[in-house]
Structure 1
Amino acid sequence: MLHRQKDLTELMVRQQNLSLLPKRDVPVFNGDPLSFQPFILAFEHSIENNTSNCQDRLYFLEQFTEGQAKDIVRSCMHMDARRGYAEAKQLLKKHFGNEMKIANAYLEKAFNWTLIRPDDGEALLAYALYLRECLNAMQTLDHLDELNVASNLKLLVSKLPYKLHERWRNVVYEHSQRNNTRIRFTHLVEFLEHQSSVLLHPVFGDIKDPPPSKSPVLKAKPDTKTPRRGSSFVTSVMPAESQLQPHEQKVEHLKRNGHCFGCLKKGHLSKDCIKRMICETCKCKHPTLLHINSENADCCQQCTDHS
């Protein structure tokens, strides 16, 4: 009697301690294979273990699912409660808890991970933690052994900032020289966890490269005159800066690049030009670009001398 009374007392203490724990919430399962195992464990622990009524279990299973998963559970609700609950759990595992599907979901998420920006310690830590999750899942999912394949390791490393590529190459080289074995997925996970810890150092983790200096950009004044035939060609021939330079420098630029002084095109001299442009200022047969802004009456003669 004393022994039985002791057992009852211990049971009452355990029940009292359980009542003081926070309420255990069951997540709603939406069909994501990566969420199936946490969901089914939480459901069995919080609901299945607390009621032996299969009808209640089936109703709760329907309540905590959505999308295709809910449709599967509902398709079993016309059966006998015991059979329907067992069938619903089996179908959920078949469609969402299959080991190959779970492994493929892990691989797809890892291979499609967003590129990590340089010095983004938080993003690098998130990537390292997810790959640690994959490494842990490898203990029970044989299909995740594909992460040890060299081509897949290279794909995972491609998500890293460029400067980490060189550090990883050094790790691979030193490992091969020291152990004479190929690198494995677990080494990459350890490398990323170390690098993320370095970037998130509480004192020196936020040191960043200074921004590159920007040289001032000179902008040409807009031309408010109405363009004539060939004016768009003039803009492409002469750089924006040179349009603001003295007449002699314009002439030197055209000579150096072999342009005609009559139409500004290449391949012939102005004396052989048959498509001379008309100056908008003095109406002479030379481009407006080459007009001399002065009262000098020899403007056209100077253009002819240059040709």
Structure 2
Amino acid sequence: MSVRSRPVSVRSSQSAASSLALNAAQARADLAVAKARAEFNRRKAEANRARIEAEVEMDRLQIEQAVAAAQIRADTLETELQLLQSDNEGSALSELPVDEPDQRVVEWRNEEPVLNVVQEDTDTKSPVISQPSHPSHSESASHLLTAIGLGMNMPKPEISTFDGNHLEYWNFINMFEVNVASKAIDDRSKLTYLIQFCVGKARNSIANCVLLGGSEGYAEAKRILKEEFGQAHVIAKAHLSKVLNRPQVRPNDGKGLWDLARDMRRCQTVLSQMCYSADMNSSETLLRIQQLLPIHLQMKWAKKAYAMMEKLTTPDFKCMSSFVEEVAKLANNMYGQNIGGSYPKNTPKWKPNSKGITSLTTTTRRPEVSLTTETRLTCPACCRKPQVRKV
């Protein structure tokens, strides 16, 4: 009995060992999952902390910007008040009498008073103070106050947000430079405004630059936006694709011509400012734009291009844009929209009569009268007694 029971015990021990190995592998897998989950939670907490710090930093920068603007306004008003007081004191001193025997003349040179002693006048003992040749401080102060008032009362220019569209990058950067970056503010405030005016993937690209500090973060944010959304060949491709990827304009389609002219003018302006006009002036581009025009306008452009080449002038994108804009204006005025139209239906017609004399006749339509079995007639003299007549 002991010999036969030995294989059974061996098999049971092997199954127990395999189950223990499986349990150990499961435990190791659970441990790895727990570690991965802990690492994910740690990174998530760090990301949330960085986001909260960035929001706190942006709030602090906005508060500093408001305080700096208020301080500048207060300093400006204080300076203007001092100028007005000094001007009032100068006018008061000019009216005071002087008991000295000699006569003094006050001359103004480079906005500073200089006293020159002149020959004594025997008839009068009071000094003669000459008036300054330049505008008074009161006038300059009033002009400055007027400018400040206009700046405070005029509506602020609105800057459209940038969402990463290549077509809008050049306009956004120029508007930001004019309305924000050119002002007397530090780089940290510029970075805050730049992040504020970006949305979507554009903001996600530069959101972490606020952690780098003032000048470094602002320069890095501009570099990221330019490399990701502002490369010249990418912008040129986007504008040319918007111009070329459209159906052919139908005859007498004024709206389609205006859309084409608008997109061509915008493409020409942006690419010229970027000094990247090689692609838009290529012959392939001009030929594809010509194919977008109706047949009669293709013929007109061919004649104009031939006349330019006869004068040793090469047609370019700017010339074609001007041509499309001109024909769009022609197609959208009163006479251009009337091309191919029909006259009104109720127009008078000239018909010859039997005597050979033409006469003007008009077609009139008689009112339809529905006939029924009974028609009620009323007496013209007495309307109270209607009579009925069967038809």
Task: Confirm whether residue 207 of structure 1 aligns to residue 354 of structure 2.
Answer: no
Distance 2:181 2:271 in 1: 28
| Partner residue in 2 for 1:73 | 206
Distance of aligned partners of 1:66 and 1:154 in 2 relative to their CA distance in 1, 3 Å threshold: same
| Partner residue in 2 for 1:41 | 174
1:102-157: CA deviations, max 9, x gaps?
Answer: 22222222221343222111220221122122233343333322222222100111
Give structure 2 stretches of 5+ with no counterpart: 1-85, 88-135, 343-391
Letter in 2 for 1:194: E
Pick from 50, 56, 60: which aligns with 2:193? 60
TM-align CA RMSD: 2.4
1:198-231: CA deviations, max 9, x gaps?
Answer: 1112344233366xxxxxxxxxxxxxxxxxxxxx
Task: Confirm whether residue 184 of structure 1 aligns to residue 323 of structure 2.
Answer: no
What TM-score, normalized to structure 2?
0.48
- TM-superposed CA distance for 1:51, in Å, is 6.3
Distance 2:306 2:144 in 1: 59
Task: Confirm whether residue 145 of structure 1 aligns to residue 145 of structure 2.
Answer: no
Matches within 5 A, 1:94-109: 94-109=227-242
Task: Confirm whether residue 159 of structure 1 aligns to residue 292 of structure 2.
Answer: yes
Letter in 2 for 1:156: I
Matches within 5 A, 1:15-30: 15-30=148-163
Distance of aligned partners of 1:172 and 1:95 in 2 relative to their CA distance in 1, 3 Å threshold: same
Is this contact kept in 1: 2:242–2:263, CA < 8 A? no
Distance of aligned partners of 1:53 and 1:182 in 2 relative to their CA distance in 1, 3 Å threshold: closer
Distance 1:143 1:53 in 2: 32
| Partner residue in 1 for 2:377 | none
Distance of aligned partners of 1:68 and 1:148 in 2 relative to their CA distance in 1, 3 Å threshold: same
SS in 1 for 2:198: coil
- TM-superposed CA distance for 1:6, in Å, is 4.0
Give structure 1 stretches of 5+ with no counterpart: 211-307
Task: Confirm whether residue 111 of structure 1 aligns to residue 244 of structure 2.
Answer: yes
Distance 1:157 1:120 in 2: 16
1:53-101: CA deviations, max 9, x gaps?
Answer: 5444333322211222111211212212332122112221222223332
Q: Percent identity?
A: 25
Count residues with an aligned counterpart: 209
- TM-superposed CA distance for 1:27, in Å, is 0.7
Structure with greater proportional strand content? 2
SS in 2 for 1:76: helix
What TM-score, normalized to structure 1?
0.60
| Partner residue in 2 for 1:256 | none
Distance of aligned partners of 1:45 and 1:4 in 2 relative to their CA distance in 1, 3 Å threshold: farther
Larger Cα-atom Rg:
2
Distance 1:183 1:46 in 2: 37
Is this contact kept in 2: 1:199–1:206, CA < 8 A? no
Letter in 2 for 1:206: N
Letter in 2 for 1:121: G
Letter in 2 for 1:185: F
SS in 1 for 2:273: coil
Task: Confirm whether residue 197 of structure 1 aligns to residue 338 of structure 2.
Answer: no
1:165-224: CA deviations, max 9, x gaps?
Answer: 1222222223333x14432222212211221111112344233366xxxxxxxxxxxxxx
Distance 1:144 1:127 in 2: 18
Pick from 83, 86, 91: which aligns with 2:216? 83
SS in 1 for 2:334: coil
- TM-superposed CA distance for 1:4, in Å, is 4.8
- TM-superposed CA distance for 1:35, in Å, is 1.3
